[in-house]
Amino acid sequence: MAQNSTSAVADRSAESEGLVVQKNLVKVEGLWKLYGENQSLATDAAGASITKQEALEKHRTVIALKDVSFSVDRAETFVVMGLSGSGKSTLVRCLIRLIEPTAGRILVENDDILQYDESQLVQFRRRKVAMVFQHFGLLPHRRVIENAGWGLEIQGISKEERYERTQTALDLVGLQGWEHAYPRELSGGMQQRVGLARALAQDPEIMLMDEPFSGLDPLIRRSMQGELVKLQRDLKKTIVFITHDLHEALRLGDRIAIMRDGQVVQIGTPEDIVLNPADEYVEEFTRDINREEVLTASSVMDKAEIVLLNSQTPKEALEILLSRSLDSGCVVNDKGECVGSVTVDEVARASKAGSTDLASAMNGSTKPVSKDTSFGQLIPLSLASDRPIPVVDDDGKLVGEVHREKLAAGLGSRNHINNVD
Ligand SMILES: Nc1ncnc2c1ncn2[C@@H]1O[C@H](COP(=O)(O)OP(=O)(O)OP(=O)(O)O)[C@@H](O)[C@H]1O
Ligand SMILES: [Mg+2]
């Protein structure tokens, strides 16, 4: 009780500081899955250092998952990415216990689901989690509404309630009007929407999606990704999404885990992955990525070198800039909101003209940008201006500034960007 009230206070203060308070919903700890003769590799000291190849050759054992640990926050879209055979499907199937792991723990709200008995597992699958598969898994002789309601039907939910919930889910995925069609009458994209509706109709907290869009042609695939992003904005499910396509991962993921040979080699935000790939394997994935789309102002901004107040006079601003040998500075009002920036030349001119109003000096001022502004939008702004671009948060408060050199570094070499400080 005392602990709860303390954490509630902590949460509130974090919120008031503008921090997002997120809590783990799923926590995977030291998960192993072995196929083959030597199951003890998961618990032996020998297993820790053995490679997938050695395990296969010396122990006739496939390491599908090796000591995998990560956690997923509530309402997060967590993408798992890796080449074919890296263990993605094994991992996501373990999360719903379609595959029994060899060792480790899977905590969902602190409950180890690997300890669940049959009836607890049934409840877990009914209430908490639903899965969308790559090959839609539709029953050919059933109409769309029956296919989408199938998950509810096996839970024994009444026809009336089933149809109501299924209709809502079909509306969400844009399939109204198709309720009575058969799968063969639908395109691949539409069939996958039925698969998605089937999972949504169950209203699970956690959605597991194993390459749901891989079977679709590129245009449909992109539009399905866009729709999922939109849906997720409202639904705020906790999603574990599997893909082998980094573009898809970057588009959908709040964070991305990269797997290789059954191990997680890196977990990070899309920007982390692109800017600082952990090794050559990850770097290889990021090679074709259009950095202009992925990177944002927040990945390259510096702390503002100087913050001027709009209540200062041009003369005062000039003295401050000269004393710090700076060419320009950001200007904020008394609430900390950024109102623009001034250069030495501008304040010198205004001061000479006898002006006492700093705002009147801000002629060529660059408008502040949000920290989520993409590189694609920043580049023309930066080229059009002779000063750093001020960056603001959602409340318009100054949080940093973007310098042209760092923007260029972000587009170019991957490590350089973090060495400039
Ligand atoms: N039933 C099984 N018996 C033996 N080995 C298996 C079995 N299922 C999977 N594996 C092995 O486990 C490893 C991981 O397979 P998994 O299907 O999880 O990979 P994946 O990353 O999903 O690949 P893909 O992108 O091709 O779907 C592979 O080496 C695979 O050969
Ligand atoms: Mg797979």
Q: Is the dihedral of CA 386, 388, 394, 397 positive or negative?
A: negative
* 113 within 8 A of 190, measured Cβ to Cβ: no
pLDDT by position in tens, the chain (length 421):
333 433 444 444 444 455 444 478 999 999 999 998 888 888 887 778 888 898 899 889 999 999 999 999 999 999 999 999 999 999 999 999 999 999 999 999 989 999 999 999 999 998 899 998 887 678 999 999 999 999 899 888 899 999 999 999 999 888 999 999 999 999 888 898 899 899 999 999 999 999 988 888 888 888 889 989 988 998 899 999 999 999 899 999 999 999 999 999 999 999 889 888 999 999 998 888 888 878 889 888 999 988 999 999 999 999 999 999 999 999 999 998 999 999 999 999 999 999 998 988 887 777 899 998 988 899 888 888 888 999 999 999 999 999 988 888 877 744 444 433 3
CA distance 214 to 229: 16
Q: Which atom of ligand 1 is nearest to the CA of 259?
A: 21
Residue with tokens 């998950």: 151
Best residue among 35, 96, 285 to mutate for probing ligand 1's pocket (most ligand atoms within 8 Å of CB) is: 35
* 79 within 8 A of 243, measured Cβ to Cβ: yes
Please choose, from the candidates 246, 288, 233, the residue with its C-alpha nearest in 3D space to the C-alpha of residue 77: 233
Tokens encoding 189: 């994209």
Best residue among 34, 86, 135 to mutate for probing ligand 1's pocket (most ligand atoms within 8 Å of CB) is: 86
Q: Which atom of ligand 1 is nearest to the CA of 87?
A: 18
- Is 183 in a helix, a strand, or coil? helix
* 97 within 8 A of 121, measured Cβ to Cβ: yes
Using CB distances shorter than 6 Å, the residues near ligand 1 are: 35, 62, 64, 82, 84-90, 244
The one-letter code for the residue type at 88 is K
Residue 273 CA to ligand 1 centre (angstroms): 24
Which bound ligand lies closest to the C-alpha atom of 87?
1
Q: List, in sequence order, every residue forming a beta bridge with 274; answer none if it has no partner.
A: none
Could you list the beta-strand ranges (E) of 83-225: 103-108, 111-112, 129-132, 206-210
Residue 123 CA to ligand 2 centre (angstroms): 26
Distances in whole angstroms, Cα of residue 253 to Cα of each of 6, 49, 201: 32, 30, 23
Complete domains list, the chain, with CATH:
72-291 (3.40.50.300), 298-419 (3.10.580.10)
Residue 236 CA to ligand 2 centre (angstroms): 25
Residue 63 CA to ligand 2 centre (angstroms): 15
- Ligand 1: residue whose CA is nearest its atom 1: 35
Residue 89 CA to ligand 2 centre (angstroms): 4
CA distance 331 to 308: 5
- Ligand 1: residue whose CA is nearest its atom 12: 64
Please choose, from the candidates 399, 385, 264, 273, the residue with its C-alpha nearest in 3D space to the C-alpha of residue 337: 399
CA distance 153 to 274: 43
In degrees, rounded to 5, the angle at the alpha carbon of residue 128 between the alpha carbons of residues 126 and 130 is: 70
- Ligand 1: residue whose CA is nearest its atom 2: 35
Best residue among 34, 54, 90, 260 to mutate for probing ligand 1's pocket (most ligand atoms within 8 Å of CB) is: 90
Strands 111-112 and 103-108: antiparallel
